[in-house]
Amino acid sequence: MQRTSISSSRRTVLEMVSRTRCRAASSSIRPRPQNRSYADSPTIAGGKLAQIIRDSIRATGPIPISRYMQFCLSHPTEGYYSKGDVFGRQGDFITSPEISQIFGELVGVYFLTRYLAKGGKGPVRVIELGPGRGTLMDDVLRTLLNFPTIADKIKEVHLVENSLKMQKLQGEKLAARIDGRGIDLKWSDMVDGIEDSDAFTMVVAHEFFDAMPINLFEKREDGLSTSKNAGLRLAISRTPTPLSTVLPATSPRFAKLPIGSRIEIAQESFKITRRLGEIISAKGGGGGAGLIVDYGGDRAYGQSFRAFRDHKIVDVFDEPGSSDLTANVDFAYLRESLKGVARPLSPIPQSQFLLSLGLQARLTSLLASAPNDARREDMRKGAKRLIDSTGMGSEYQVMGIEPLGAAGEAEEEVYPFPARAEVLSEPVDVQSGVDIPVG
């Protein structure tokens, strides 16, 4: 990205974002323009959680954005996901598994192909991070259970979810699917709760990493400084902080940032992805395969932190806990986290992933058995939306995770990911890799 095209590139990013999460209403609702600096965000009194956050700041001083996000999304009683169902047309956003069953079915098909490619023997466990209503897991299981080669091998379903209300929804959804099959259903509130296993581990995270806390850094002459939330507005710390000293050193790409640029760094995402790689590659374990699907790209972002409510973008400080906070996923950072632990695959656009795995054929078969024209139209629209090259098909990326091969062994090509050499030691081109901050 050239500096001369800063404003148009930023517009592109914001418009893309609004289509992604406002799908049900994108034609009628325009998001609020956000062409201003974070530091200009107004101070807004609002709600019980705002008071809790202010009290915390009063007691211990300014908090980093990551802490603010944790408060807003995961506070046990006032957090966004702690309050209940926020999905679907009636909720704040709608996601791919909720749009079409084909999404989860093809994720299941991918995992089946990886299991068979590794010999198709031994027990299987299926893990999902951030399972929402449980729709994706339900579709994956339904698909896998249809194949006799694997149906009786599935021993465990493990959900990583920190909202008790969401856990309840997930349990209700999946109880019937696993009933009488000897499948153990368990929850952890973080990946640390997942143990290494001799089972082949299938792990999927769909729209999970975009909800992980980020911190925002600005490159200064004297190094990188971090933004903090003080009194519910953003302020840049005048001096280096522990975060600004440690985090930017975690990727060689960040060292080359031009002075004045801002980057969002999701340290939790780095740690979690690395742990997933360890689980899949564990020595003496059953191996496995991972899929991360989210919006973002193979690059860092500087201005993607945003809030959604009722399918619209709202100010990130507007009534904390009542809107979804999110940031684009830096897939290059996730790939970097796997260095020496597991093998990252691409990412590729969602449309490429789904079409390669047979979306068209599956749609044709579903249409043939649909009860009426209205249902057929629904199915067509849903499938089209998933692969729309101007929307979800390109905005969402799919990254695979495979165990590391033995030293000296040629890397197996994993369909539908293109074979390509991973050059993790070289930083990306910073000019095209990072949004330039508001001037």
Structure tokens of 6? Answer: 């800063």
Element (H, E) at 227: strand 223-229
Structure tokens of 377? Answer: 């139209």
CA angle 62, 63, 67 (to 5 degrees): 165
Compute the least distance from the CB of residue 411 to ligand SAM, in Å.
Answer: 29
Compute the least distance from the CB of residue 385 to ligand SAM, in Å.
Answer: 14
Q: Is 277:342 a contact under the CB 8 Å cutoff?
A: yes
Query: Closer to ligand SAM at the Cβ: 286 or 391?
Result: 391
Compute the least distance from the CB of residue 371 to ligand SAM, in Å.
Answer: 25
Q: Site residues (CB under 6 A) for ligand SAM?
A: 73-74, 81, 87, 95, 97-98, 130-132, 136, 160-163, 166, 189-190, 206-208, 211
CA atoms of 314 and 65, how far apart (whole Å): 17
Query: Closer to ligand SAM at the Cβ: 151 or 164?
Result: 164
- Looking at 282-337, list the stretches that DSSP marks H as alpha helix, in order from N- to C-terminal side: 331-337
Query: Closer to ligand SAM at the Cβ: 3 or 186?
Result: 186
Q: Is 351 left (phi over 0), alpha (psi -120 to 50) or beta?
A: alpha
Q: What are phi and psi of 324, to 5 degrees?
A: -85, 125
User: How many other CB atoms sit within 10 Å of the CB of residue 409?
Assistant: 8
Query: Closer to ligand SAM at the Cβ: 74 or 229?
Result: 74
CA atoms of 303 and 376, how far apart (whole Å): 39
Query: Closer to ligand SAM at the Cβ: 161 or 264?
Result: 161
Compute the least distance from the CB of residue 130 to ligand SAM, in Å.
Answer: 3
Q: Is 434:257 a contact under the CB 8 Å cutoff?
A: yes
Compute the least distance from the CB of residue 343 to ligand SAM, in Å.
Answer: 24
* Beta-sheet pairing, 262-265 with 215-220: antiparallel
Side chain identity at residue 77, one-letter code: T
Compute the least distance from the CB of residue 211 to ligand SAM, in Å.
Answer: 4
Compute the least distance from the CB of residue 382 to ligand SAM, in Å.
Answer: 14
Query: Closer to ligand SAM at the Cβ: 117 or 175?
Result: 175
Query: Closer to ligand SAM at the Cβ: 73 or 428?
Result: 73
- Looking at 215-266, list the stretches that DSSP marks H as alpha helix, in order from N- to C-terminal side: 242-246
Neighbour-count burial of 69, counting CB atoms closer than 10 A to its CB (0-12 exposed, 13-18 middle, 19+ buried): buried
Query: Closer to ligand SAM at the Cβ: 74 or 225?
Result: 74
Compute the least distance from the CB of residue 425 to ligand SAM, in Å.
Answer: 30
Q: Could you tell me how far CA 314 lies from the centroid of its own chain?
A: 20
Structure tokens of 318? Answer: 């507007």
